Amino acid sequence: MKPADFHKLLESSSLIKQGAEAKVYTVELVKATEGRAAITVLLKYRFPKTYRHPSLDSQLTKNRLTFEARSLTRALKTGVRVPVLKGLDLEQGWLMLEWIEGISLREWLHVHQQHAQSREEMSGLLADVGAQIAKLHSADIIHGDLTTSNMMLRKAKTDTAGQEVVMIDFGLSSVTALVEDKAVDLYVLERAFLSTHSDPTTLSSNTPPPSSRSSSRLMLAACHNTFGRPSKHGWLTSACVVENAAWSAEQRA
């Protein structure tokens, strides 16, 4: 796509989010007509950073986009639910992704967290999160920013009444086989979860254990159960690292 065409596309798009590194837009590639639905995609644009040297900024942008595109493609091949990569331009700094229709897990939890009738569904969603992370780590993909804001819920394709988790935003992802890096990924999720959702013990459909990390452990348990033999994939070691780090932090506090 020529630069002029790209900027024209941006002007006709809707900005939905802006961070320090990128802007995210919704783009309607094909308008809806009678008998045909509109085709909408998500456009992530890593805009130039004026505080960095142009050549350095260009190289960093290319590297991050390359990592993100590779992680998404690798995750999809492994069976992880992620947006399909539709387009990529390293020179102009953008990638185009499948539009996921739904809300974030964070938004859903804020609405349903205190509803007793939703506990079973919550437990199912948290277990699904754990299963998706397990598949990511089995493929040696580190997400880098595991929060409930980076998990979307959409209507399940195999269950008309349920929802399924889709992992998004792989902008900080990397590929490594180190168990310690996978443990850090899980620990970041646990701390982000506890800081965002004030009463995580309510998210278990069973009587929660004394620890306030019961919901995080539910996700970890799903990681273990996805493969059946956790030690083979380093899950037992990862879980121990996470639990020990959390225990040490509590002791220091």
Whether residue 145 lies in the annotated active site: yes
Asked if 179 contacts 232 with a C-beta cutoff of 8 angstroms, the reply is: no
Strands laid side by side in the 14-18 sheet = 14-18, 23-30, 39-45, 94-98, 85-89
- Report the distance separating Cα 88 and Cα 9, nearest Å: 14
Helix (H) or strand (E) run with residue 62 in it: helix 54-78
Of these residues, 57, 89, 145, 181, which one is catalytic? 145
* Residue-wise DSSP of 94-141: EEEEE---SEEHHHHHHHHTT-GGGHHHHHHHHHHHHHHHHHHHHTTE
Q: H/E element holding 155?
A: strand 151-155
Alpha-carbon dihedral angle through residues 13, 66, 63, 8, given to the nearest 10 degrees = -20
The sign of the torsion formed by the CA atoms of 209, 214, 220, 225 equals positive
Known catalytic residues are 145
